[in-house]
A and B are shown apart, each in its own frame.
Chain A
Amino acid sequence: MMGGRWGEGLRELRRYPSALMGLAIIAALVAISFYTVVAIPYSEALAQWRGGEVWQRNPVNAAPVWLDRLAGGGAPRTQVVTSAEAEVEESAFTGGRRLRIPLAFDYEAEQFPSELTLFLHARGHDQRPFVRLLWQTPDGREVPLGGYRIGAEERISLSQDRALERRLGGLVPHIGLLAEPGMTAERAAEAAPSVLPGRYTLLMDVLLFDEAARVDAELVLYGRVHGLAGTDHQRRDLSLALLWGTPVALAFGLLAAVGTTVTTLVIAAVGVWYRGWVDATIQRLTEVNMILPILPILVMVGTLYSTSIWLMLGVVVVLGIFSASIKMYRAMLLPIREAPYIEAARAYGASNARIVLRYLIPRILPVLIPTFVTLIPTFVFLEASLAVLGLGDPLLPTWGKVLNDAQSQSALYNGYYYWVVSPAVLLMLTGLGFAMLGFALDRVFNPRLRSL
């Protein structure tokens, strides 16, 4: 009988386009979650999100690529020029070698890069090598960039070279070095400097005091766009957080919803079945719980103990056990208690536990399903709310934490709208997906609404 009712309900669900759309959204989110968990293992995601070395080749606060496409394009992507591809001229002298490494590249984008950095790797040298840099533009100008004594891992931030900036007429190096000739800061104030397209070369003149050890160089012209989701202030690729945020959000929402509804339902059923002091205790506990404000308690737990997402989940479930919905379930269960089939069960000698679990609870499950589905987004947003308050999980990347980062870096004020919009859209999609399905289910399974 039960199976027939479920099947009928599902068949009826097909009549609601909103339910199908909600299902499609949920299916897409679940698919993303599976892909993410398989493609980026948990430990790797945590390690990467901690930041540092991994993201060194990413620009800071770059917009997503698609955003640039929508705006007409022209923003450069990150370009990496390595010495491995360059034709190196080598000449020996007593006590060392001299290398001429031309790092040549074509620059065609309409906008300037966001940063210019030279990474040098010189391992295994007894005496530190010396390098002299020369910038050659397509129209034949040459700008000396100075000399450096380099260590094993050297990072030369050309963009932050103040002396070079002064020599370029007050223009930041990543603009000045690539701009059309004759451009200075005063003139840039009147008309924005434009890129001189063509083939640039960074000529490296390296003196090595070692017979065998190598020098490798990478010139990184950081772009203004990056990947599908852009990057944040720590150069981290936001797509990692957006991807990993999906399984975290779904798991949190689902577990919290299951945890609270199932325990609440069982407790309500137990109270109704046993009556007397059991019921009275449950009722009083529910009233106490109504007085406790849930969000402040979560904030307290987060500030005082730990912000681990699993602890938060536990607290949410514990606080949700004696929630106000106990009263609702109780009202539904009370008439069922007196139903003839329960009496029949008692007559054949069914135990109390059997009656509660097998006869009382299954009867109101259909009515519960919609509530359960609409409850999921509430918890997804609760997690995001906590993260926005700065109480997100310390390790896991989640949507709420991206929003919190954006907020603390004044993303809106600085115009990095993508930083706020993409996690917000994902949150909204999750909310809408479950809510649309839940509302349709409500109309299918709730007998009083069926005719409406």
Chain B
Amino acid sequence: MSRKSGASAIQRPARRGRLRDLRRLLAYTLKRLLALFVTVLVGVYLTIVIANMGGQVDELRRVQIRSEAAEAVRADPAFQDMPAEERNALIERQVALEVERLRLDEPFAVRSVDYLQQAMRLDLGRAEQMHSDRGSRAVYDIIVERLPATLLLFGTANLLVFFTSVFVALWLSRRYGSALDRSVVALAPTSAAPGWFYGIFLILVFAFVTPLLPPGGMVAVPPPEASWEYAASVARHMLLPVAAMFLSQIFISIYSWRTFFLIHSSEDYVEMARAKGLPSHTIERRYILRPTLSPIVTSFLLMLIGLWSGAIILEQVFNWPGLGSLLFRAIGYRDTPVIIGAVVIFAYLLAATVFVLDILYALLDPRVRLEGGPS
């Protein structure tokens, strides 16, 4: 409505309108930022509580500390001929030291708030059990070490799926009803199975029945010296997992994009453009792709986020040293700092994406601007 009044001849109201728009956009941005911040806060706190079983993990940890301390004292020849009471006192002292180091003597409620503010400041702390392959105990180092492997594998696969499906779908929507189109529609249900499931079959066929490719891992053992040989080895190891993900996602992806494009290409303005006799690639670019750009951008950004978390099972099945298997191991060790660290980073990335999307929508879609955004 502000547009309509602003359009009336004189320039001043137009500028005022734009200013009002800007102010609204700013207020909207602040509101969204605050909401997202609270969201991340709540999400991370929930994760902290779950990862500590509401404090119950502490009991497990205390038992573990005691048994480890007792074992260490008993195994040390220096303490062999110490009297029993003295040895028990020594064990108690060591347990107390360790409990204090891990701050298990404080109530969980206090520590959870502490964990929360550390996590929000991205101060990820030190792992309790795990260490990176280089030996660092810092959670940051542990996560960063695994990041490239996950990004490489999932980045390759998802980018491949995304671009292939969008372009094939665009191409298919022009050949709607052809044999190829019908076969894609028929094949779409095969995507009900996740990537690891196809992975098992691919390993069976290509690694065991006909041993062409390695069944798992990221690089040959021992790793080749020359860098191009190393890259070739990694590529060979990537082939099966990428194929598994590609197989499990490509048909549903093409199907949904195709349906999406078909719905949009039956809009009246597209028919109009066609009636005007515009060439088909112009129609495609200007009349189909442009209005559908924001959903495409959305799903691209969400896909980028999905990349980061990796996939626990696919990495387990292919023995890929990425974040998914790191998270799985961390949960197995009950190493809460690592679990929380991984979730915090994921939450921040997701929140940042949602924020970028919100702003993008507000800029692209005038309806959002006027009504103060989709609440």
Q: Are B331 and A412 in contact (CB under 8 A)?
A: no
CA distance A420 to B202 in the complex (A): 12
How many angstroms from the CA of A413 to the CA of B214 in the assembled complex? 12
B190 at the A interface (CB under 8 A): yes
A374 contacts chain B at the CB level, 8 A cutoff? yes
Chain B residues touching A, majority SS: helix
Range, interface on chain B: 35 or more
Decide if B189 is an interface residue (CB 8 Å cutoff): yes
Chain B residues with CB under 8 A of A420: 200, 204
Q: Is B82 an interface residue (CB 8 A)?
A: no
Does any Cβ of B come within 8 Å of A229's Cβ? no
Q: Which residues of B contact A293 (CB under 8 A)?
A: 309, 343, 346
- Does any Cβ of A come within 8 Å of B259's Cβ? yes
Bound Cα distance from A420 to B201, whole angstroms = 9
Known: A300-B331, A381-B197. A291 touches B204 (CB 8 A): no
Q: Is the CB of A388 within 8 A of B317?
A: yes
Inter-chain CA distance A284–B332, complex, in Å, is: 31
- Contact of A290 with B350 in the complex, beta carbons under 8 Å: yes
Return chain B residues, CB-CB under 8 Å to A304. 53, 56-57, 334
Residues of A within 8 A of B46 (CB): 288, 292
Q: Does residue B90 face the partner (Cβ distance < 8 Å to A)? A: no
Residues of B within 8 A of A299 (CB): 312, 327-328, 331
CA A292 – CA B344 in complex, angstroms? 10
Given A296-B327, A427-B193, also A279-B312 (CB < 8 A):
no
Complex interface bits, A381-420 against B, C-beta within 8 A gives 1, otherwise 0: 1001100110000000000000100010000110101001
**Among the listed A287, A300, A388, which residue makes an inter-chain contact with B354, where contact means beta carbons less than 8 Å apart?**
A287
Evaluate contact between B203 and A412: CB separation under 8 angstroms. yes
A309–B112 CA distance with the chains assembled, in angstroms: 29
The reply to whether A413 and B208 contact each other, CB–CB distance below 8 Å, is yes
| Contact in complex: A439, B188 (CB < 8 Å) | yes
The complex places the Cα of A377 from the Cα of B313 at a distance, in Å, of 17
Q: Are B339 and A296 in contact (CB under 8 A)?
A: yes
Tell whether B351 is near chain A: CB-to-CB under 8 Å: yes
Contact B312 A389 (CB under 8 A): yes
Please report the C-alpha to C-alpha distance between residue A384 and residue B192 in the assembled complex, in whole angstroms. 13
B308 to chain A, nearest CB (A): 10
Size bin of chain A's contact surface: 35 or more
Q: Is the CB of B339 within 8 A of A378?
A: no
Contact (Cβ within 8 A) A448 B196: no
Asked if B196 and A388 make an inter-chain contact with CB atoms under 8 angstroms apart, the answer reads yes
Q: Are A284 and B317 in contact (CB under 8 A)?
A: no
Known: A280-B375, A377-B192. A412 touches B186 (CB 8 A): no
Chain A residue nearest to B349 in the complex (CB):
A291
Complex CA distance for A390 and B112, rounded to whole angstroms: 29
Distance (Å) between the CB of B50 and the closest chain A CB? 6
Cα distance A287–B39 in the bound complex, in angstroms: 7
The CA-CA distance from A377 to B252 in the complex, in Å, is 14
Q: Mark A291-332, 1 if CB is under 8 A from B, else 0.
A: 111011101110111000000000000000000000000000
Q: Is the CB of A435 within 8 A of B43?
A: no
Chain B nearest CB from A231 CB (Å) reads: 19
Q: Does B63 contact A (CB under 8 A)?
A: no
| Main secondary structure on A side of the interface with B | helix
Whether B347 sits at the interface, judged by CB under 8 Å, is yes
**Which residues of chain B are within 8 angstroms of A436 by Cβ–Cβ distance?**
189
Which of chain B's residues have a CB closer than 8 A to the CB of A287?
Answer: 35-36, 39, 354
Residue of B nearest to A301 (CB): B50
Contact B259 A449 (CB under 8 A): yes
Most buried by B among A424, A434, A451: A424
Contacts of B350 in A (CB 8 A): 290-291
Q: Are A448 and B208 in contact (CB under 8 A)?
A: no
Q: Determine the distance from Cα of A295 to Cα of B47 in the docked complex, in whole angstroms.
A: 12
B51 touches A300 (CB 8 A): yes
User: Complex Cα distance A351/B244, Å?
Assistant: 52
- Cβ-defined contact, A448 with B43, below 8 A: no
Q: Give every chain A residue within 8 A of B201 (Cβ-Cβ).
A: 424
List chain B residues, Cβ under 8 A from A303: 331-332, 334
Q: Does B233 contact A (CB under 8 A)?
A: no
Instruction: Give Cα distance in the complex from A428 to B201, angstroms.
Output: 11
Whether a CB of chain B sits under 8 angstroms from the CB of A431 is: yes
* A424 & B197 in contact (Cβ 8 Å cutoff): yes
Nearest CB of chain B from residue A412's CB, rounded to whole Å: 5
Q: Contact between B47 and A292 (Cβ–Cβ < 8 Å)?
A: yes
Note all chain A residues with C-beta closer than 8 A to B331.
296, 299-300, 303
Which of B204, B207, B312, B339 is packed against the most chain A CB atoms within 10 Å? B312
CA distance A428 to B56 in the complex (A): 39
A38 within 8 A of B: no
Which B-chain residue is minimally distant from A403 (CB atoms)?
B200
In residues 126-158 of chain B, which contact A (Cβ within 8 Å)?
none
Q: Does B29 contact A (CB under 8 A)?
A: no
Chain A CB within 8 A of B194 CB? yes
Q: Which of B43, B53, B193, B215 contacts A292 (CB 8 A)?
A: B43
**A279 in contact with B43 (CB, 8 Å):** no
- By a CB distance below 8 angstroms, the chain B residues around A18 are 186, 189
Residues from chain A with Cβ under 8 Å of B188 in the complex: 435, 439
Least Cβ distance of A444 to chain B in Å? 14
Give min CB distance, B333 to chain A, whole Å: 9
CB-nearest residue of chain B to A431: B192
Cα A384 to Cα B354 in complex, Å, equals: 31
Known A432-B190, A435-B191: A385·B196 in contact at CB below 8 Å: yes
Query: What's the Cα separation between A288 and B38 when bound, in Å?
Result: 9
A292→B45 CA distance, assembly (Å)? 10
Report, nearest first, the 4 A-B pairs whose CB atoms are least far apart. Answer: A435-B189, A431-B192, A291-B43, A435-B192
Chain B residues with a Cβ under 8 A of chain A: 35-36, 38-40, 42-44, 46-47, 50-51, 53, 56-57, 176, 185-186, 188-194, 196-197, 200-201, 203-204, 207-209, 215, 259, 262-263, 266, 309, 312-313, 316-317, 327-328, 331-332, 334, 339, 342-343, 346-347, 350-351, 354, 375
B-binding residues in A (CB < 8 A)? 18, 22, 279-280, 283-284, 287-293, 295-297, 299-301, 303-305, 374, 377-378, 381, 384-385, 388-389, 403, 407, 412-413, 415, 417, 420-421, 424, 427-428, 431-432, 434-436, 438-439, 448-449, 451-452
List 11 A-B pairs, Cβ < 8 Å.
A18-B186, A287-B36, A288-B43, A292-B343, A296-B343, A300-B339, A378-B192, A388-B317, A389-B328, A434-B192, A452-B263
